[in-house]
Amino acid sequence: MIKIKNLHANVEGTEILKGINLTVNRGEVHAIMGPNGSGKSTLANVLAGHSAYEVTEGEIIFDGKNIIEMEPDERAREGLFLAFQYPIEIPGVSNSIFLRTALDEIRKHKGEPELTPKEFLSLLKEKAQILGMDTSLINRALNQGFSGGEKKRNEILQLLMLNPKLAILDETDSGLDIDALRIVSEGVNAYKSKDNAVIVVTHYQRLLDYIVPDFVHVLYKGRIVKSGTKDLALELEERGYDWIIKEQPETV
Amino acid sequence: MNEETREDIKLVEDVTQTDYKWGFVSDIEADEFPKGLNEDIIRKISKIKNEPEWMTEWRLKAYKHWLTMEEPDWAKVNYEKVDYQDLIYFSAPKKKPELESLDEVDPELLKTFEKLGIPLEEQKKLAGVAVDAVFDSVSVATTFRETLAEKGIIFCPISEAIINHPDLVKKYLGSVVPQTDNFFAALNSAVFSDGSFVYIPKGVRCPMELSTYFRINAENTGQFERTLIIADEGSYVSYLEGCTAPMRDENQLHAAVVELIVLDDAEIKYSTVQNWYPGDKEGKGGIYNFVTKRGICKGKNSKISWTQVETGSAVTWKYPGCILLGDNSVGEFYSVAVTNNFQQADTGTKMVHIGKNTKSTIISKGISAGKSNNSYRGLVKVNKNAENARNFSQCDSMLMGNKCGAHTFPYLEIENNSATVEHEATTSKVGEDQIFYLNQRGISTEDAVNMIVNGFCKEVFNELPMEFAIEAQKLLAISLEGSVG
């Protein structure tokens, strides 16, 4: 699904990603973990094409295409989705109009017809139900005045509606209480299939109790320094990151 | 300057490269007066309109007063002053003396309005909207007049009203904006050539939107239209005003006066979509839009609601206001002002509370892009005897890029302690984060900006009649195409 090769990226002249190599296949869930400042969110944003980050070296092959030169909206239409750590508020723009526009753009790109208002609404209701979302949120302005939990739920609603090939979840668990965490995870699990893939960026193991990863990678100072299975996440929970950091050569 | 900022600036520049679509010139033979202004010209205007003596005198009084006045310069706008002796004060499409039907209108003229999307032919009239079309100095066609006349509604060019309804005109013309009110109002009073007149009789709810479309075509011509709307007791009317002009290198002057009079329990809703030619990307040409608009809530429980979407003009200088004289009267002002390239806008409102329990609401949204400057200037005045007056003002500014400016000048004059006055103001930038967020959901930058801007203006667009709201959204999109920052 996505093949990241020797990816280097700068922000304001400072190198944050220093050669990431990662392959995620269809049907897989990969977790990216690591201490603060290791480059996890940078990786998520670079994959989505945020203009504040400059890719200096490497390739990102997404579903057979090198997307390095693609604009963020093109990547999104190709089926790459980023659930934001801090979803953005857009005053006055209704959640449903926004979703409708996004869905139309993506369907148009795939050569599918636009949904009728009725079809759209019933799809929206179906997906909102999975997340136990109050339908009133749908007519409110996009993320405006939403609580932290509502915002995260809204991200997953968008994920379910847009049904991308690859979902990157950037610290979707941050700021969620245990019930919200469970509901959001159920949403992600409802999305997951053998045809798509998920990259979960997280600090904590607890999210991985719900969204079970096939692989876990530890990011440290811009490189993946250790990869393993779900057990690695459990070990990190127990022992922290120090033991891995100590294994690293000083020069990193 | 870091990469990001440079990128922003580039985006802004890319996006602001849209051309004015209404800039064509119609090849229509015109009757024009020589350049310059003097008593003779005013008498000639009055004569060509077959005006009664009292009207000629009214104009001359305004002219004499105007001569003693100086052009004001307190607004936050810079422009090359107009040479008033270098303007033509009357230009009319040549036509047969009396028009019996639209068949007799110059087909070129009909074509012009067709191109502007304002069909005047009977069979193609906009559904449910009566249109008065003003071309340069004269009104060329007013539609639906018979239908309206059945209800006793008068909707006609003001030049006709002066002749056919002198009592109403004498009583109300200049009653809200006196000839001596200000420099541009005095000039308008002296030389106005046409405009619309509306009278809604007691208890009548006007069954359709009334609309006037103003078009400046001729070169070196000032447009000075005059609009007078009277809503008698218990009546209601919604009135729409639209305007465009050709692209010309020299600046053209538009100095209109609009007066609204609302009696007991009546309401006027006045909406404007102003799209005069704004000048080119280097700031050359464009319309100077110096307009005096004012309404009086004369009767108790009366209401005036001004909604404006200002996207055009090189320089805009206008403050639609409400004098809330009647007890329990309500004044509203909803405004979106967009400036791009080198446009300048200094606009806002005046709410003067005189009656008891009067209420006013001001919602102003200013959007600045390019190298433009956008100012909100508003006055809320509560007189000594205005018990329990209430005002709420909200002035929001949005900046695109970092070469433009937004300014807010709220003035408060409160003479009664029982007044409640609230003012909120915000300034925001169209965030790169907002655009990225929408991009990440497959929405192009162009559409993302439109979405963000429309969201920002939503409270104002909600006040516009449906078709106008759609037109306003489209205009906004065109005015700001690509202005990202």
Q: Is B438 in Cβ contact with A92 (below 8 Å)?
A: no
Q: What are phi and psi of B378, to 5 degrees?
A: -140, 145
In a domain, B475, yes or no: no
Q: How high is the pLDDT of residue B29?
A: 63
Query: What gap in Å lies between CA A158 and CA B139, rounded to an integer?
Result: 53
Question: Cα dihedral angle (B50, B54, B55, B57), rounded to 10 degrees?
Answer: 120
Whether the pLDDT of residue B133 is over 80: the answer is no
Query: What gap in Å lies between CA B113 and CA B242, rounded to an integer?
Result: 12
Q: Is A102 in Cβ contact with B442 (below 8 Å)?
A: yes
Section A47-72 average pLDDT: 94
Query: What gap in Å lies between CA B230 and CA B322, rounded to an integer?
Result: 14
Strand-strand pairing, B251-254 and A29-33: unpaired
Out of A71, A84, A92, closest to residue B456 by CB: A92
Which one is predicted more confidently, B278 or B422? Answer: B422
**Disruptive mutation site among B14, B363, B436 for chain A (greatest number of A CBs within 10 Å):** B436
B221 token code pair: 């011509």
SS3 content of chain A, % helix, strand, coil (to 5): 40, 25, 35
Q: How high is the pLDDT of residue A244?
A: 86
Provide the percentage of residues in chain A whose pLDDT is more than 70.
99
Query: What gap in Å lies between CA B34 and CA B86, rounded to an integer?
Result: 9
The pLDDT tens digits of the residues spanning B260-271 come to 999 999 999 998
Q: Is B456 in Cβ contact with A88 (below 8 Å)?
A: no
Q: How high is the pLDDT of residue B139?
A: 60
Kindly report the number of other CB atoms within 10 A of residue B186's CB atom: 26
Q: How high is the pLDDT of residue A54?
A: 94
Q: How high is the pLDDT of residue B136?
A: 59
In a domain, B3, yes or no: no
Strand-strand pairing, A2-11 and A14-24: antiparallel
Query: What gap in Å lies between CA B476 and CA B470, rounded to an integer?
Result: 10
In a domain, B351, yes or no: yes
Categorize the per-residue pLDDT at B485 as very low, low, confident or very high, splitting at 50, 70 and 90.
very low
Q: Distance (Å) from the C-alpha of residue A124 to the closest C-alpha of chain B?
A: 16
B66 token code pair: 């105007």
Domain that holds residue B399: 30-431
Coil/strand/helix, residue A58: strand
Residue of A nearest to B1 (CA): A12
In a domain, B248, yes or no: yes
Tell me if A59 sits within 8 A of A4, measured CB to CB.
Answer: yes
Categorize the per-residue pLDDT at B240 as very low, low, confident or very high, splitting at 50, 70 and 90.
confident
Which residues does residue A4 pair with via DSSP β-bridges, in sequence order? A22, A60
Q: Is A101 in Cβ contact with B440 (below 8 Å)?
A: no
Give the amino acid at B109: L
Section B180-208 average pLDDT: 91
Section B158-177 average pLDDT: 93
Q: Is B444 in Cβ contact with A93 (below 8 Å)?
A: no
Categorize the per-residue pLDDT at A27 as very low, low, confident or very high, splitting at 50, 70 and 90.
very high
Q: How high is the pLDDT of residue B138?
A: 59
Residue of B nearest to A91 (CA): B455
Q: Is A162 in Cβ contact with B441 (below 8 Å)?
A: yes
Complex-level ipTM: 0.95
Q: How high is the pLDDT of residue B260?
A: 97
The pLDDT tens digits of the residues spanning A143-157 come to 998 988 899 999 999
Q: Mean pLDDT over all residues of chain B?
A: 82
How far does Cα B188 stand from its chain's mean position?
Answer: 15
Q: Which helix (H) or strand (E) holds B104?
A: none
Which residues does residue B213 pair with via DSSP β-bridges, in sequence order? B133, B242
Q: Is B447 in Cβ contact with A101 (below 8 Å)?
A: yes
Q: Each residue of B196-233: b (16+ CB within 10 Å) or e?
A: bbbbbbeebebebbbbbbbbbbbeebbbbbbbbbbbbb
Distances (CA, A) of B66 to B72, B185, B188, B191, B404: 12, 9, 10, 11, 35
| Residues of B at the A interface, defined by Cβ within 8 angstroms | 2-4, 7, 431-434, 436-445, 447-448, 451-452, 454-459
* Closest to B90 measured CA to CA, from B59, B53, B121, B52: B59
Categorize the per-residue pLDDT at B11 as very low, low, confident or very high, splitting at 50, 70 and 90.
very low
Q: Distance (Å) from the C-alpha of residue A43 to the closest C-alpha of chain B?
A: 15
Chain B residues with CB-CB distance to A97 below 8 A: 451
In a domain, B464, yes or no: no
Whether the pLDDT of residue A216 is over 50: the answer is yes
Tell the residue number behind the tokens 């929405």, with chain if given.
B443
Q: How high is the pLDDT of residue B75?
A: 76
B380 token code pair: 């809320």
- Number of structural domains (chain B) is 1
Q: Distance (Å) from the C-alpha of residue A83 to the closest C-alpha of chain B?
A: 9
Q: How high is the pLDDT of residue B99?
A: 46
In a domain, B454, yes or no: no
Tell me if A99 sits within 8 A of A141, measured CB to CB.
Answer: no
Query: What gap in Å lies between CA B170 and CA B1, rounded to an integer?
Result: 62
Q: How many H-runs (helices) and E-runs (strands) does chain A carry?
A: 10, 10
The pLDDT tens digits of the residues spanning B103-125 come to 555 666 666 666 655 555 544 44
Out of B2, B440, B458, closest to residue A76 by CB: B440
| Residues of A at the B interface, defined by Cβ within 8 angstroms | 12, 48-52, 54, 71-73, 75-77, 81-82, 84, 87-88, 90-93, 97-98, 101-102, 105-106, 109, 141-142, 158, 162
Which one is predicted more confidently, A13 or B254? Answer: A13
Whether the pLDDT of residue B96 is over 60: the answer is no
SS (H, E, C) B306-371: EEEEECCCCEEEECCEEEECCCCCEEEEEEEEEECCCCEEEECCEEEECCCCCEEEEEEEEEECCC
Categorize the per-residue pLDDT at B386 as very low, low, confident or very high, splitting at 50, 70 and 90.
very high
Query: What gap in Å lies between CA B334 and CA B336, rounded to an integer?
Result: 7
Residue of B nearest to A168 (CA): B440
Kindly report the number of other CB atoms within 10 A of residue A212's CB atom: 14
* Alpha helix segments (H runs only) across B68-142: 107-115
In a domain, B385, yes or no: yes
Section B51-72 average pLDDT: 92
**Who contacts A155 (Cβ-Cβ below 8 Å, separation ≥6)?**
A83, A84, A87, A172
Q: How high is the pLDDT of residue A15?
A: 94
Q: How high is the pLDDT of residue B340?
A: 83
* Alpha helix segments (H runs only) across A110-199: 117-130, 136-139, 148-162, 178-191
**Disruptive mutation site among A14, A41, A90, A143 for chain B (greatest number of B CBs within 10 Å):** A90
Q: Is A101 in Cβ contact with B455 (below 8 Å)?
A: no
First to last CA, chain B: 14
Q: How high is the pLDDT of residue B205?
A: 94
Tell the residue number behind the tokens 């070129």, with chain if given.
B108
B200 token code pair: 């809604």
Which one is predicted more confidently, B200 or B116? Answer: B200
Out of A49, A92, A102, closest to residue B441 by CB: A102
Q: Distance (Å) from the C-alpha of residue B34 to the closest C-alpha of chain A?
A: 51
Q: Which helix (H) or strand (E) holds B447?
A: helix B445-456
Q: Distance (Å) from the C-alpha of residue A52 to the closest C-alpha of chain B?
A: 6
Categorize the per-residue pLDDT at B384 as very low, low, confident or very high, splitting at 50, 70 and 90.
very high
The pLDDT tens digits of the residues spanning B82-92 come to 888 888 887 76
Distances (CA, A) of A122 to A99, A187, B6: 13, 17, 44
Provide the percentage of residues in chain A whose pLDDT is more than 90.
75
The pLDDT tens digits of the residues spanning A86-124 come to 999 999 999 988 999 999 999 999 999 999 989 998 999
Chain A residues with CB-CB distance to B432 below 8 A: 51-52
Q: How high is the pLDDT of residue A241?
A: 87
Distances (CA, A) of B167 to A12, B173, B249: 72, 10, 43
Largest Cα span, chain B: 69
Q: How high is the pLDDT of residue B3?
A: 46
Query: What gap in Å lies between CA A64 and CA A42, rounded to an integer?
Result: 23
Cα angle B281-B283-B289, degrees, rounded to a multiple of 5: 120
Out of A50, A97, A162, closest to residue B436 by CB: A50
In a domain, B395, yes or no: yes
Whether the pLDDT of residue B247 is over 70: the answer is no
Section B433-439 average pLDDT: 94
Whether the pLDDT of residue B246 is over 80: the answer is no
The pLDDT tens digits of the residues spanning B63-74 come to 999 999 988 887
Q: Span A2-247: which CATH code?
A: 3.40.50.300
Categorize the per-residue pLDDT at A240 as very low, low, confident or very high, splitting at 50, 70 and 90.
confident
Instruction: Say how many CB pairs under 8 Å bridge A and B.
Output: 87
Tell me if B303 sits within 8 A of B330, measured CB to CB.
Answer: yes
Section B199-214 average pLDDT: 87
Q: How high is the pLDDT of residue A74?
A: 96
The pLDDT tens digits of the residues spanning A159-194 come to 999 999 999 999 999 888 889 999 999 999 999 999
Whether the pLDDT of residue A233 is over 80: the answer is yes
Q: Is A73 in Cβ contact with B442 (below 8 Å)?
A: yes
* Closest to B258 measured CA to CA, from B272, B244, B248: B272
